[in-house]
Amino acid sequence: MIDQYGRKIDYMRISVTDRCNLRCRYCMPEDMAPAKQQEILEYEELLRVCAAAVELGICKFKITGGEPLVRKGCGAFICRLKELPGVEQVTLTTNGLLLEENLDLICRAGLDGVNVSLDSLDEALFRALSGGRGSAAAVLSAVRHSAERGLKTKINTVLLEENRDQVESLAALAAELPVDVRFIELMPIGFGRAMRRVGPEEVLEKLRGRWPDLEPTEEKRGNGPAHYYKSAGLQGRIGLIDAVSHKFCASCNRIRLTGTGQLKPCLCYDTAADLRTLLREGGSDEELKKAIACCVAAKPRAHSFDSPRDITEKKAMSQIGG
Ligand code: SAM
Ligand code: SF4
């Protein structure tokens, strides 16, 4: 589908749950009540949405959450999505804690890649950022196993004041392993609004101290807006995702389905198509397609992260899927 600004929309992020086994400070607070189970779309409903989306030219899907792997049956869902005619790519974003035990299943399903979020290799800081849950060692072990299995693996780190000192050690994982390490600018969504942003220029400066030959590369490494850097000393690439300081809305290719079945044209605004009601009130496949097409048609030209009062989205990132 081509939207009103000439952008090709072929990618959908699907949140399968708003629950999570971590409480990353910028994403999900301790006391957030999850949606009721009946409010979350069933896998069958998700597959119906995906089938309709495929017919409209959306052929790439990212499974997200909350933490997608805390939802029972997520691996089997990935299998079924991969088998849906017209689906070209299915990838997963996860905090990695349940990845190792799911690796067999998702590799067999033919998952096309996994993004593992990891904000610190220092255990004390990891726990300070994750609400005292999980461990960096467990995530790292999953990353190693995933890369060993030949699964395309990327590490995503949100840049915060607290983890500034972790940048070099996290980037060094791209030297040790064939993984890309991406640094993401904090977005003013949900709890990210109250936290201070660290600019990506700082990352480059630091990393050039260690890998002086770091240089931009035009290689296409995924579906997203990251720009990548390479060095002879690195197996993987370093990616920067600077959604706020360098708006990349002109090349936006995506829509987002929340766990509760709201289809969002843009992360920044609270507008959404209520696919759950449509699905549960007997909407036909044609009506579903029409609702998806309307959502694409409603994609705004750009976000307004630089103008806080124009950000109308009030949900936490864990309720949207990132
Ligand atoms: N639980 C999974 C994970 O952590 O990868 C999937 C869901 S999580 C919401 C998806 C991504 O959004 C993670 O990489 C997370 O770091 C990122 N994220 C959450 N809140 C953010 C914010 N305010 N700004 C930038 N990225 C954010
Ligand atoms: Fe959970 Fe992912 Fe949000 Fe962290 S970023 S709280 S792991 S959903």
CATH code, 315: 3.20.20.70
**247, pLDDT greater than 90:** no
Q: What is the mean pLDDT of residues 50-71?
A: 98
CA distances 82 to 55, 63, 69, 109, Å, are 15, 12, 17, 7
Atom 11 in ligand 1: which residue has the minimum CA distance? 322
Q: What is the mean pLDDT of residues 13-22?
A: 98
Ligand having the closest approach to the CA of 66: 2
Q: What is the mean pLDDT of residues 135-162?
A: 98
- What confidence tier does 222 reach under pLDDT thresholds 50, 70, 90? confident
2 within domain boundaries:
no
Q: What is the mean pLDDT of residues 224-250?
A: 91
Cβ of residue 27 lying under 6 Å from some atom of ligand 2: yes
Ligand 1 centroid from CA 218, angstroms: 25
Provide the number of structural domains found in the chain.
1
pTM as predicted? 0.97
**220, pLDDT greater than 90:** no
| Full domain range(s) for residue 102 | 11-320
CA angle 56, 62, 65 (to 5 degrees): 125
Ligand 1 centroid from CA 261, angstroms: 19
| pLDDT recorded at residue 306 | 87
Cβ of residue 166 lying under 6 Å from some atom of ligand 2: no
Nearest to 289 by CA among 58, 11, 41: 58
| pLDDT recorded at residue 250 | 94
Beta strands 227-230 and 238-241: pairing type? antiparallel
Ligand 2 atom closest to residue 95's alpha carbon, by position in its atom list: 7
249 within domain boundaries:
yes
6 within domain boundaries:
no
Ligand 2 centroid from CA 26, angstroms: 9
